[in-house]
Amino acid sequence: MEFLEKVLIKRWWWIAVFGLVIAQILSANEAHAQQRIKEIASVAGERSNQLIGYGLVVGLDGSGDQTTQSPFTLQSTLAMLQSLGVAIPPGISAQTRNIAAVMVTAELPPNARPGQKIDLTVSSMGNARSLRGGTLLMTPLRGADGQIYALAQGNVFVGGAGAAAAGSSAVVNHLSAGRIPAGGLIERSLPSLSTGNFLQLDLHQSDYTLMRRTAEAIAKRFGEGVALPQDARSLRVAVPTNPSARIAFMAELENLTVAAGAERAKVVVNSRTGSVVMNQSVKLNPSAVAHGNLSVRIQAEPSVSQPEPFSRGQTAATQQAQVEIEQGGVEGGLVRVAPGATLDEV
């Protein structure tokens, strides 16, 4: 009898644990089906703006531009030195491989204010082999109107790796582009567009069903006539004119939940980093996948060409290159993928 009671208690314990797991899964799916308005829409006009600038990266370990093939690098270096009070005698051609001319790009976020930091992307313009270990000198970043909105400076971080010796080289990812996290300092802000009695909400994707649900959620909370749909993407919303009341209204509006439904399947492939990103709606159909690994190896070895005696030839140094290509596949040839699997199920 005592043994039977222990078995029943253990069985009920497992049933309780299983029920809790099922409840967590159902609550997670229900929460996932509901999305906040701030996740599916944005205020019209509050967008990021592109910034661009031209600058110099210094401190490279001999991997910078060749000034004979990239004359603009030398011109920029001389102009920079002259602006700092360093006089360069005319007719002198500096041959340095520690400098590279680069283009700097960034995004000015909406409602940005002077003193805030932004991330930078640095890309080589000349024939520099690598930007690893370099430092970007102070570079003004301009908008489409030609005005300076930010200043860029900092150490360049490169995600790739490379090595070369005796004529052989190996490179992983790109070495001629890098990033400077929080390397840009905003100096000028954009004028605010949040004025008037109305503002416009734009859905990230045109969807009549989602537009109707969004308008109904706003009307349920703030009353009829506050949200007026214009089309499948745009929604006109009446807002208070007082700045404090407007902020409180928008803070409550953007946190309203809407049943968004199933989103479109999307796959993003980044060839620079070799990564693949997909959302939960991507579904795998029955298929067979064959994957092979292809590696190319190039080796160059110096050798000496010695002529025969009394042949009046000259001893010369030569390079003997050996190229090998290896291809490896998956054991078994093809890999079959079962149908019906989605990222959400995994």
pLDDT in tens, the chain (346 residues): 554 454 445 555 555 544 554 445 444 444 446 888 888 888 888 888 999 999 999 999 888 888 778 888 888 888 888 888 888 777 777 777 899 999 999 999 988 899 999 999 999 998 888 898 899 999 999 999 999 999 999 999 987 655 555 555 555 567 889 999 999 999 998 877 666 788 889 998 888 988 999 999 999 999 888 999 999 899 999 998 888 888 899 899 999 999 876 667 778 887 666 677 877 777 766 666 565 565 656 666 777 677 777 666 677 767 666 666 666 655 555 666 566 556 666 5
Give the N- to C-terminal CA distance of the chain in Å, as an integer: 43
Using CA atoms, how far residue 248 sits from 106, 221, 222, 244, 272, in Å, is 31, 14, 13, 6, 42
178: nearest Cα among 206, 117, 136: 136
Angstrom distance (rounded) from CA 67 to CA 126: 9
The predicted pLDDT at position 191 comes to 75
User: 220 and 60 in contact (C-beta within 8 Å)?
Assistant: no
- Strand partners for 277: 268
Which tokens in the block code for residue 313? 């030839």
Task: Please report which helix (H) or strand (E) contains residue 327, including its range.
Answer: strand 316-329
39: nearest Cα among 344, 343, 257, 209: 257
Task: Please report which helix (H) or strand (E) contains residue 74, including its range.
Answer: helix 71-83
Using CA atoms, how far residue 153 sits from 78, 132, 136, 183, in Å, is 19, 15, 5, 6
CATH 3.30.1360 residue spans of the chain? 195-259
210: nearest Cα among 279, 262, 268: 262
Q: What is the b/e burial string over 304-332, where b = at least 16 CB atoms within 10 angstroms of the residue's CB?
A: eeeeeeeeeeeeeeeeeeeeeeeeeeeee
The predicted pLDDT at position 342 comes to 64
> What fold does the segment set 195-259 form as a domain?
Gyrase A; domain 2 (3.30.1360)
Angstrom distance (rounded) from CA 68 to CA 345: 58
Angstrom distance (rounded) from CA 144 to CA 142: 7
pTM (2 d.p.): 0.62
| Other residues' Cβ atoms within 10 Å of the Cβ of residue 297 | 11
Angstrom distance (rounded) from CA 81 to CA 25: 64
Q: Is 250 left (phi over 0), alpha (psi -120 to 50) or beta?
A: alpha
Under 8 Å CB-to-CB from 83, ≥6 apart: which residues? none
Query: In what side-by-side order are the strands of the sheet with 198-203?
Result: 41-43, 198-203, 234-238, 227-229
- Strand partners for 103: 54, 123
On the 0-12 / 13-18 / 19+ scale of CB atoms within 10 A, 37 is buried
The predicted pLDDT at position 23 comes to 47
The predicted pLDDT at position 21 comes to 46
